[in-house]
Amino acid sequence: MNFNEVIAELPRLTFEERQILIRRALDLDDPPISASDEELAEQRLAQHHADPSSSMPLNQLKQKLRER
């Protein structure tokens, strides 16, 4: 199947199928995360769950950075 045939098939896919396709395509561009980085992310997520007040909304963080 060539590129144009793939593009022509996209409208026939269900929403869920398109979402899977998008995720798989994005995964191809993302380098795999190292075990230590994954562990760090899990630790920080656990800390956030333990104390949600320790974080701030993204728009608030962006505003603080703009003010610097």
Residue 24 token pair: 């798989």
- Tens digit of each residue's pLDDT, the chain (68 residues): 899 999 999 999 999 999 999 998 888 877 788 999 999 999 999 999 999 988 899 999 999 999 98
- pLDDT at position 33 is 86
Record the pTM: 0.45
Distance, in Å, from the CA atom of 16 to the CA atom of 10, rounded to the nearest integer, reads: 12
Q: What count of other Cβ atoms lies within 10 Å of the Cβ of residue 18?
A: 13
Distance, in Å, from the CA atom of 20 to the CA atom of 67, rounded to the nearest integer, reads: 39
- pLDDT at position 50 is 95
Distance, in Å, from the CA atom of 27 to the CA atom of 54, rounded to the nearest integer, reads: 30
Q: How many CA atoms lie within 13 A of 2 on its CB side?
A: 1
